[in-house]
Chains A and B, each alone.
Chain A
Amino acid sequence: MHELALCQALIAQVETLAREHQARGVAGVRLLVGPLSGAEPALLQSAFPLAAAGTVLDGAVLVIDSAPVLVACASCGAESQTTPNRLVCGACGDWHTRVVSGDELTLASVELVLEPGRVTDGATREAGIHV
């Protein structure tokens, strides 16, 4: 249960970003969390509001995308989708594989709330993350 620690790391990172862009708030955060990352999306969702309380992320929407576990085989070259505890090649069964997707723990993007008037190119829209 280290998801609270992960959320605290996330918030520190987004706070820095918000400062750099002189944002007045954060509407949403999008993460990419693979099944092999060791982080559980449902636990991240429940820890996030606790960690965000009182910060610039208070009230922000957390969106978590996942990625399939994909391995590339060093023997036959095939790429196959598999489960986190069976990283063998789906084509030939060899365990000499390399994970090409599924171990991500990445901050993908942040939706910042800017001062009214800072965006003047007609891109203004209602606050909120668009999923």
Chain B
Amino acid sequence: MCSTCGCSTVPDARKVAYRPALEETRAVPVLKKLLDRNDTVAAHNRAHFDAHGVLALDLMSAPGAGKTALLEATIDALRGELRMAVIEGDLETDNDARRIRAKGVPAVQITTGGACHLDAHMVHEALHELSLEGVDILFIENVGNLVCPAGFDLGQHRDVALLSVTEGDDKPAKYPVLFRAADVVVLSKSDLLWYVGDFEPSRAERCVRELANAAPVMTLSARSGAGMQAWLDWLRSALSVQRARTASHPSGIERPGASAPAAQPPA
């Protein structure tokens, strides 16, 4: 029996044997956001967008809610009025980027492999392959997922959440983190409302309000074009806000609205 190192005195002996009898520890307070590094890169991305006067939007939804179809219809509707670019996020394939490029709009595909969301570093890498010269709006189409994309700031100015009518009108109550942060909620595939039967746009809107979110909720169909006008007007309005902001604070990197609640002292 070894009597000097203590290796046989306790069941988990090796831990004791290879560790000094007394270790000195010190608790260091940090109080930093866990995603500090992501947020630093996101701020860098946002400064890059601002320097080019670009409005950056993060499109989030479940897979198959119609994000790419909405972009295709938007590109057709705003052709000749605004210049757009797209960053596409998917686990695999460049199908979506090819669909966008077929419309004559530059698109970079990020394939995340297994990752369920985009983060600021991935967007930063994609920006190296995408010129923002002359671009008015950059759409970042996130990986289809109602959970993880909400956790990562990419540097966007506004969050767009899509909810297709086939998914059910209570999705905002089931996925509160994502829908709470949305700056606009698009109820897509409204041409299918009649077939679905029990999707009530007013119920979906009530779920959004119960998340204390005042964002506009708009019902539209990219396929039929019904309701597209409200979406296009929202884009124009968000772009003019961004232009006014970058004209007065060309180097500003704060996300609009994001700092306002934090600036208020706790009640």
Contacts and interface: CB of A to CB of B under 8 A. Distances in A.
Nearest to B265: A100
4 closest A-B pairs by CB: A127-B23, A2-B148, A38-B177, A87-B212
Interface of B: 19-20, 22-38, 115-117, 119, 147-148, 150-152, 172-174, 176-178, 180, 207, 209-212, 214, 261, 264, 266-267
Nearest to A40: B147
B210 A88 contact: yes
A50 interface: no
Interface in A81-131: 84-88, 95-100, 105-119, 123-128, 130
Given A106-B31, A109-B29, A127-B19, A85 B173 contact: yes
Interface of A: 1-2, 5-6, 9-10, 12-13, 17, 21, 25, 27, 31, 36-39, 71-72, 77, 79, 84-88, 95-100, 105-119, 123-128, 130
B182 to A, nearest CB: 13
B34 A126 contact: no
Which has the most chain A C-beta neighbours within 10 Å: B22, B24, B172, B173? B24
A119 B24 contact: yes
Given A2-B116, A125-B25, A106 B210 contact: no
Given A9-B38, A112-B26, A116-B24, 15 more contacts: A13-B34, A13-B37, A31-B34, A84-B176, A85-B176, A98-B261, A98-B264, A105-B34, A105-B35, A107-B34, A107-B36, A109-B27, A112-B25, A116-B22, A123-B24
